[in-house]
Structure 1
């Protein structure tokens, strides 16, 4: 096997990618994991709903432990980004940002999804300290707090209604709403207070304390949930004809995490909700084992 030839290459160093690397490497094959753990949605999160981890734990700590575990089993790791993927017979070729090209018998896509951002001052600096992109993930941290949701689609309205079970007060900031009549009725009959404006700035030092709105008002809040929807990191996948789901938001896979292209698997957030670590780890486990089996079969055929 040449220096740059691998049995399995995994793109994405989040929970799905790391777990896939662990299971693939245990098959005594050559595995390369590409990506930065800092790019994972988990990195700035807090985990308290994952079995066997009883205390609230920093996502960054879990990712670091997982990466070291994968390396102990033999996984090679590079933080280089992938620019292009090409397919030649049974081999996939990946062009990296470093200019190097690596090849593999099997490929696992675990790039996650890119959260749509407000792109306002304070959003990046206060991420994980009052700024969140997932109500389902972080609602429990805001029990008894005053919180705000922004967004005009069903994810935002549903998130605001969900937060009523946790927070003492919930605001929904949206200039317009594009939701079903049923969901709108539920919102209007709830105690969620809607503010017809948009957010200009998120304020706070160590934690979020307030929002500056486009209408000139200041809104005191202890948390802001940005629920603008998710956009999948699909550019690389679609280069080689990987099919998406019916809504063209996520990669379509079967129960073995196989895509429509033999040798390509996908796992984690990139294949759809719920966007939770538990789901990502399980899918990564399946993808890692299946990809390893596929790669070993292809090597025997040659």
Structure 2
């Protein structure tokens, strides 16, 4: 995809969809990335949202919102995002399909949830061999033996990244659920693909030493990276220097215009903190979409001289 985008939105929940609707209606070229089933709203029931009568399922609301965004002209791709980079005055977004998209502005609207394995040893060894961020912690595992656990794009991309650091990399998965291009990269790499099983326990003595699998096998190692689903907003945002809230370092810090500390980068929804409510997500998505549209139009005028 070589076309320059005005606005790229990462996340197809209520914040991302609302951002798309508002930015595309301001005549912007908008790309919305994500899958609605990844949204926390998808499996919820809603009865406290203003002007909506009765109980609605999150799924039907997201489907309706996505149809609306498409009808106004939003381009939608269900690709996972692997990496984001600053590129001159704009940004580039690498997708699991191998496509790289250039954009003038970015909106992070992909939530905050960090999925856990929920197995013995995971909590106990967090920070002592258990990590949730390859890009953050890979450097600590130079010449070590590590495993990545996960079925989707974040796990595969993490395993490939770790081959540049660790002496041995395992990828433990039940079934690979990613693009053909990304799986081909995995198959051509030195990563040992341990497929068809899952983790039953993480064990060690002070630090992680062993990964115990459901098929009865064990892997002796130095570190375990848990990468479930797509890469999270935090990891992607940190790649381009987006600042987190100083108190908890658990949310992206924004102002009333949904702006982050990086010019051209906005955030909306759960990723900006409590309360985790659809009403807040939609309101912030509205602001982020409009502000990103204004910023991208200014950038375009500057480019045209």
Bucket of the pairwise TM-score, normalised by the shorter protein: 0.5 to 0.7
Q: How far apart in 2 are the matches of 1:58 and 1:76?
A: 24
Report 1:97-108 matches (<5 A): 97-108=96-107
Q: Is the 8 A contact 2:25 2:72 kept in 1?
A: yes
Does structure 2 retain, via aligned residues, the 8 Å contact 1:5–1:102?
A: yes
CA distance in 2, matches of 1:264, 1:233: 12
Contact 2:108 2:268 in 1 (8 A): yes
Could you tell me which residue of structure 2 aligns to residue 91 of structure 1? 90
Partner of 1:126: none
Q: 2:61 and 2:114 mapped to 1: Cα distance? A: 21
- Structure 2 residue runs of 5 or longer lacking an equivalent are 120-231
Alpha carbons 1:114, 1:233 under 8 Å: kept: no
Asked if 1:242 is matched to 2:242, the reply is yes
Q: Which residue of 1 aligns with 2:34?
A: 35
Q: Counterpart of 2:217?
A: none
- The answer on whether the counterparts of 2:2 and 2:102 sit within 8 Å (CA) in structure 1 is no
Separation in 2, partners of 1:235, 1:116: 14
DSSP 3-state at the match of 2:113: strand
* Distance in 2 of aligned mates of 1:23 and 1:116: 30
SS, match of residue 111 in structure 1: coil
CA contact (8 A) 2:7 2:107 kept: yes
Structure-1 residue corresponding to 2:268: 267
8 A contact 2:46–2:57 mirrored in 1: yes
Aligned counterparts of 2:296 and 2:103: Cα–Cα separation in 1: 8
Q: Distance in 2 between matches of 1:67 and 1:40?
A: 12
2:254 aligns to what? 253
2:233 corresponds to: 233
Would you say the 8 A contact 2:23–2:289 is kept in 1?
yes
Alignment match, 2:77? 78
TM-score under structure 2 length normalisation: 0.61
Query: Once the 2 structures are TM-superposed, how far is the Cα of residue 301 of structure 1 from its aligned partner?
Result: 0.5
On the 8 A contact 1:4/1:101 being kept in 2, the answer is no
SS at match of 1:87: strand
Provide structure 1 residue ranges, at least 5 long, that are not aligned to the other structure.
121-231
Query: Separation in 1 of the partners of 2:15 and 2:287?
Result: 10
Equivalents in 2 of 1:116, 1:74: separation in Å? Answer: 33
d(CA) in 1 for partners of 2:39 and 2:295? 27
Aligned-pair CA distance for 1:233:
3.3
* Equivalent-residue separation in structure 1 for 2:296 and 2:53 (angstroms): 37
Partner of 2:21: 22
| Secondary structure of the corresponding residue to residue 295 of structure 1 | helix
Is the 1:37–1:43 Cα contact (8 Å) retained in structure 2? yes
For residues 41 and 115 of structure 1, the distance between their equivalents in structure 2, rounded to whole angstroms, comes to 12
Task: Extract structure 1 runs of 4+ deviating beyond 4 A.
Answer: 115-118
The whole-number CA distance in structure 2 between the counterparts of 1:235 and 1:278 is: 25
Question: Structure 2: how far apart are the matches of 1:293 and 1:234?
Answer: 25
Instruction: List per-residue Cα deviations over 1:98-118 (Å, max 9, x = no partner).
Output: 001001001000010115557
Measured after TM superposition, the shift of residue 89 of structure 1 is 1.9
Aligned length: 192
